[in-house]
Amino acid sequence: MSQKAIGLLETRGLVALVSGTDAMLKAANVELIGPMTQVGSALVSAVVVGDVAAVKAATDAGAQAASQVGEVVSVQVLPRPHEDVAAILPTAPATKKTASK
- Over residues 9-23, the pLDDT tens digits come to 999 999 999 999 999
- 100 lies in some domain: no
Residue at 95 is within a domain:
no
Beta strand pairing call for 71-78 and 5-12: antiparallel
Structural domain contains residue 54: yes
- Pairwise pLDDT comparison (45 vs 96), residue with the higher score: 45
Specify the CATH number for the domain of residue 10: 3.30.70.1710
Q: Is residue 92 part of a domain?
A: no
Domain extent, residue 71, equals 5-87
- What pLDDT band is residue 81 in, cutting at 50, 70 and 90? very high
Whether 2 shows a pLDDT value over 50: the answer reads no
In 3D space, the residue among 73, 86, 75 whose CA is nearest the CA of residue 43 turns out to be 73
pLDDT at 92: 64
Quote the number of domains for the chain: 1
- pLDDT tens profile 17-64: 999 999 999 999 999 998 887 887 899 999 999 999 999 999 999 999
What does the H/E/C string look like for 23-42? HHHHHCCCEEEEEEEEEECC
Those residues with Cβ within 8 angstroms of residue 48's Cβ, 6 or more apart along the chain or in another chain:
6, 7, 9, 21, 24, 25, 30, 31, 32, 33, 55, 58, 59
